[in-house]
Amino acid sequence: MSHPTRTPISPHARRRAQQRGKRRDALELVYRQGDRQRRAGRSRRAVSLSHRACRSLISDGVPPHLIDRARRIELIVSESDEAIVTVLTNTEDRK
């Protein structure tokens, strides 16, 4: 049974998250707090966390280990139903 406040996620995205070792709590954080967005094909957008959002989440009391996981995630979200279509590893911020 699905929890009503849970983020909608496609079976494909669920498999990709599992293959890439991305936890559901980190996906939820990016989906709800992701402030960096770009177009990602027809009727889709890529969502991730900016450095500014990460700092804000730390000051809001979100556990640092969760933010560290979430900042490495980029979600592809359908604009038609707001469901997560796939999960990518965000390599843009790697140091």
For 48-73, what is each residue's pLDDT tens digit?
Answer: 999 999 999 999 999 999 999 999 99
Structural domain contains residue 50: yes
For residue 55, tell me if it sits in a domain.
yes
**Residue 34 counted as domain residue:** yes
Considering the domain boundaries, does residue 38 fall inside one?
yes
Question: Please, are residues 72 and 89 in contact by the beta-carbon 8 Å criterion?
Answer: yes
> What does the pLDDT read at residue 94?
47
Asked whether residue 95 is assigned to any structural domain, the reply reads no
Distance CA 72, CA 43 (A): 23
For residue 76, give its domain range.
Answer: 23-89
Tell me the pLDDT of the chain averaged across its residues: 91
| pLDDT value at 7 more than 90 | no
Average pLDDT over residues 21-38: 96
Q: Output the pTM of the full model.
A: 0.88
Q: How many separate domains does the chain show? A: 1
Res 1 pLDDT > 70: no
